[in-house]
Amino acid sequence: GTTNNHWWPNRLKLELLSQHSEKSNPLGEGFNYAKEFKKLNYSESKNDLLKVMTDSQDWWPADYGSYAGLFIRMAWHSAGTYRSGDGRGGGGRGQQRFAPLNSWPDNVSLDKARRLLWPIKQKYGQKISWADLMILAGNVALESCGFQTFGFGAGREDVWEPDMDVNWGNETEWLAL
């Protein structure tokens, strides 16, 4: 299929050095996400998500007073890149915050959802990864709409650089305008 090299043939190919190396992780080798997540006040973080979800912003007004639909869509599209054929993609590493995923036509306006989550990420820091926060926001949004979830399973550690092994399929022309 078509790869990133097709779309951006002149970019510097640093992934040849190492993809997702410990050196690219600003948290250092000793960081233990599972240990940090245990320090998270889970119910407080869910309440904070509910508050953000119903606090309409002038720069992107909420539909009918709630960002629930936007958060559900963000979580869906985060998880939707998973490929059962080789186990790559999905919401497990917070890739949606990096190019090229963040600019895919299907992900239009999801930058606004992540912007809404930024104060929560700042508040809880490394106690919750971006990957977990995006999926938890979707879970909380579903629950706020009356959907009964099976709960939330944490443990998605962030990566700090985009995947360079994205398979673009057979397209040879960018579909977005």
Q: What share of the chain is helix, strand, coil (3-state, %, to 5)?
A: 45, 5, 50
Looking at the DSSP assignment, which residues form a beta bridge with residue 168?
A: none
Q: Find the Cα–Cα–Cα–Cα dihedral 116, 174, 86, 137, rounded to 10°.
A: 10
SS3 41: coil
Q: Which of 77, 93, 97, 114 is catalytic?
A: 77
Contact (Cβ atoms closer than 8 angstroms) between residue 131 and residue 93: yes
- Is 77 an annotated catalytic residue? yes
Pick from 33, 44, 53: which is nearest to 131 by CA?
33
Return the number of other C-beta atoms located less than 10 Å from residue 106's C-beta: 13
| Active-site amino acid positions | 77
